[in-house]
Structure 1
C-alpha cells in the first residue's frame, strides 16, 4: 500500500542521491506496514517514483528482486526496479499508484478490478516453480503457526472483551485437523501470500498493479482467492462472493 502519511525534509534524501540520478522536488513518507521496510514517494517533474529503505536488504539476491524477476518474466504488473544500493540498504522502483482497490466505490469499476484481480491469481499460479518461492510452502508447520498466531491475537483481545467466547479445545482440534487437510493437498501452486485490496494498486492510467509479492510461496489454489474475497479492507456480501466464485 502506497498511501501518503507525511512530507519529509529535503535533507533526508541526500544519502540516497547516488541511486536517484536526480533530486526530487519533494518527498512524502508513506503509511508504514507491519515490516521493517519504509517507503517514500519521490516527486519529480516528469513522474513519481518509490524509494524503499530496508535494513535487511541483500541486493539483487533479495526475495523482492528475485520474485520481481519471476513475475516480470511472465508479464505480471509489478513495479520496475530502477536502481539499488546494498550499502545504502535501499532501492528505487516505479510508482504503481496511490489508490488501492479498497478505495474504489463505484460498483462497476470495483467489479472490473476484482475480476482482473482473479485473472491475475490464475497467472500467478501458472508461474514456474522457482526458488525462493518454491523452497517454502504452506505445510503443516507453517499453517499451524498462522493458526496459533491468530489464537494468540484473539486471546489478547479476549482480555479486554471477556464477554466473547473462549478458544476451546474443540475449536483448536478443528483447526489442527484443517491444517492437516490443507497441508496434504496434492496440487500446490504459487501463491502471492498477501493478496488483498491494499496490495492491488491502481495507477493514473487506471491500470492494476501488484505489490508486496516478496513472500510468494507454494500453497493451495484457493489461498489467494480466499484472501481476496474475504478481505477485511474490502468486505463483500455473501451474494457477491458467490458471483466471483462462479466467475
Structure 2
C-alpha cells in the first residue's frame, strides 16, 4: 500500500487521531467494489467504536455528494446505514462507523434465509415509504435504455465476439422496448439499485446494515426486490422466492405502498424488472473484465444468464430474446472452464 492517495489518506487520518483515538498502523484493506472506491478498516480506542471504516473515493471518479445525500435520506427513513463521522469531500475521504464483516451472502443458508430476508423486507419497505419525487435522479427511459444497451455492446459483441444478424438486432430492440414499457409503468419509489446479499450486513441491532447506495434513483417499485431475490450471487428455489415476494407485497400494501392489488401482476412486474437488471448485469460483468481488468465477476455470469433465460421463456413476447440468450450458453460454459 504505497500509492499516493494512500499517503494523502494517512495524512488526513493523522489529523483525526486525537479525536477518534485511531491506531494508525492498524489501517488495512477492508473491501473493494466494482467502482473506483475502496475501503479500509482501522482500529480505535474510542469507547464507542472498536473499529472504523475509511472510504477512499477519488473525486474525479466517485464524488461524494450522492453518497452523503442518500446516506442522510436512508438514515432519516430509519435504515441502518453508515454514520458519517468525519468527511473530507475535497480529497474524497470519509470516516464511518463499522457495520461489521458479516454480509448476507456469507450468512444466508436454507435455515437463516427466512429471518434475514424478513429483516431486509422491512428495511426495503421503510425506504420505499420515505419516497418523494424530485429528490433523487429519475430512473427514466434514457437510463433504462443505456443500461440495456450494455448487454449487446459488452456481453454479446465484446465478450462473446457474437456477430448479430439483422433479425436478431431487431428482436433485441423489440424486447428492450417491451421491457422498458413495463418498467416505466410501475409505481415509483426510492431505488437502492444494488440491494442484494453483498451490500446487506448482518447486524445485531436494526438488521440489516445497508451499504453501497450512492447510485440510488427514483424508479420502479419492484427493482430492489428483484435485486434481492434474483441475486447474482446466490440462487433459491422458485417457490421460496415467490413466498418472499408475497411477504414483501403484503407488508408493503399493509404499510400503504402503491402496490397493485393483483399479486400476479406484481410478480410479472418483478420478473420483467429482474430481466432488465440481469441483461444490464451481463453487460456490466463483461465490461468490468474487458475494460477494467476485473475478472472476479465472470464466474457469476452463468447464474445471471440462467435467470434471464428462464424469465424470457415464461413470456411469449420475449421468446425471441430467450432464443438469443440460449445461444450464448455454450460460449459461457467454455469461458468459465478456461
Length-normalised TM-score, structure 2: 0.62
Alignment of 1:131-170 (within 5 A): 132-133=135-136, 136-155=137-156, 156-159=158-161, 168-170=169-171
Mapped partners of 1:202, 1:233: distance in 2: 16
Higher-Rg member (1/2): 2
Map residues 192-203 of structure 1 onto 2, 5 A cutoff. 192-203=192-203
Question: Aligned ranges for residues 60-75 of structure 1 at < 5 Å?
Answer: 62-75=65-78
Kindly state the Cα deviation for residue 246 of structure 1 after the two structures are TM-superposed.
2.1
Instruction: Tell me the SS of whatever aligns to 1:108.
Output: coil
Q: 1:14 aligned to 11, 14, 27, which one?
A: 11
Question: After the TM superposition, which residues 215-226 of structure 1 pair with which residues of structure 2 at under 5 Å, given as runs?
Answer: 215-226=215-226
Counterparts in 2 of 1:65-144, with a 5 A limit?
Answer: 65-129=68-132, 132-133=135-136, 136-144=137-145
Query: In the comparison of the two structures, how many residue pairs are matched?
Result: 232
Aligned mates of 2:113, 2:185 — CA distance in 1? 35
Does the 8 Å CA contact 1:97/1:204 hold for their aligned counterparts?
no
What SS does the corresponding residue of 2:33 show, helix, strand or coil? coil
Q: Secondary structure in 2 aligned to 1:172?
A: helix
Q: Distance in 2 between matches of 1:245 and 1:28?
A: 39
Find the aligned partners of 1:151 and 1:58 in 2 and give their Cα distance.
29
Deviation at 1:203, TM superposition (A): 3.5
Which residue number corresponds to residue 3 of structure 1?
A: none
Stretch deviating more after TM superposition (14-23 or 95-104): 14-23
The CA distance in 2 between the partners of 1:229 and 1:128, in whole Å, is 21
- The Cα shift of 1:17 comes to 2.0
Cα distance in 2 for partners of 1:83, 1:15 equals 10
Give the number of the structure whose residues are more often strand, by fraction.
1
CA 1:175–1:126: 2 relative to 1, 3 Å? same
Contact persistence 1:200–1:211 (CA under 8 A): yes
How far apart are 1:106 and its partner, in Å? 3.7
Does residue 26 (structure 1) correspond to residue 22 (structure 2)? The answer is no
**Structure 1 residue 118: Cα displacement:** 1.5
CA RMSD of aligned residues (A): 2.8
SS in 1 for 2:87: strand
**C-alpha distance in 1, partners of 2:15/2:37?**
19
Q: 1:243 to 1:74 in 2, by over 3 A?
A: same
Query: What is the deviation of 1:126?
Result: 0.7
| C-alpha spacing 1:113/1:210, structure 2 compared with 1 (3 Å) | same
The answer for unaligned runs of 5 or more in structure 2 is: 248-338
Q: Deviations over 1:176-220 (max 9, x none)?
A: 2221232243x2111111111100012366932000112211111
Q: Is the 8 A contact 2:131 2:189 kept in 1?
A: no
**Deviation digits for residues 141-163 of structure 1 (CA, Å, limit 9, x no counterpart):** 1111111112223212222x89x
Q: What does residue 239 of structure 2 align with?
A: 239
